[in-house]
Amino acid sequence: MFKQPVTKLLLCILIVLLGALVALQKSFPTFPGDYPRTAPPIEYNCAYFDERVEIRLAKGSKLGRLIVFAYDGNNKFIGLLKPVENGAVVVRRGDYADFTACVEGSEIRDVIFLKKMDRYDKKIDMFDALTGARNNNLRYGVQRCLYPICTRCVEACKSVISNSDIPIVMTVKPEGEVLPVFSKGKCPRCGKCFTFCPTGSIVNSSETQHTEGQ
């Protein structure tokens, strides 16, 4: 006498579980299998004023934030995360750097974050760093990649590659910016790095053209 109600109850539970599984599957990102590549450098122009530096971009920024960087006389990388507003990044006197890093050849190491909660362990004025780099013929500019503030691509790769020998290496380019470089022989082509990259620094290698601001 209880068979029919129990059967109906089990059927309802099964339908609910199937619906939950479908919804859960849709909530997870898909990872197209292909090799990653690095997006081309940002094109920009700098204008210097008494109390600010205006960096105007040729195109928009996907995330709306960039790293402004400058090198000092000891080849130290000085970086500041800044928003893009009206197609430009403005660095004013009194904007303090977020981090520094030592650069040896193409390797970046010994990253030190300068801001701790609501205070700075050390204050480096980014306006002075930019003008000093320009006046002394040192490297400076902006970059899409937010490393070391953002490490999503590295962490995503580590979730696939069990050992520490992952195919992504953060590399200093001749112009001074830090970008990921990939070893195709080690890459599993999972697509996680360019799926998780919030800035468009890493794109699918099958894309014929990368458009910023999408």
Q: What are 34-60's pLDDT values in tens digits?
A: 889 999 999 999 999 999 999 999 988
Strand partners of residue 79: 69, 99
**Tokens, residue 136:** 């002394």
Residue 209: pLDDT over 50: no
Q: What is the pLDDT of residues 111-157, one digit of tens each?
A: 999 988 888 999 999 999 999 999 999 999 999 999 999 999 999 99
Residues 185 and 166 placed together within one structural domain of the fold: yes
Q: Count the domains in the chain.
A: 2
The two three-digit tokens of residue 164, written as one number = 């520490």
Pair 117, 190 in one domain: no
- 102 and 49, same structural domain? yes
Q: How confident is the model at residue 185 (pLDDT cuts 50, 70, 90)?
A: confident
Question: Could you tell me if residue 80 is inside a domain?
Answer: yes
Q: Are 92 and 163 found together in one domain?
A: no
The answer to whether residue 93 sits within a structural domain is yes
Could you tell me if residue 213 is inside a domain? Answer: no
In a domain, 37, yes or no: no
Task: Show the domain range for 175.
Answer: 151-204
* Residues 132 and 157 occupy one common structural domain: no
How far apart, in whole angstroms, are the C-alpha atoms of residue 142 and residue 94? Answer: 18
User: Position of tokens 């909530």?
Assistant: 27
Last residue of a domain, one of 124, 143, 162: 143
End-to-end CA distance of the chain: 61
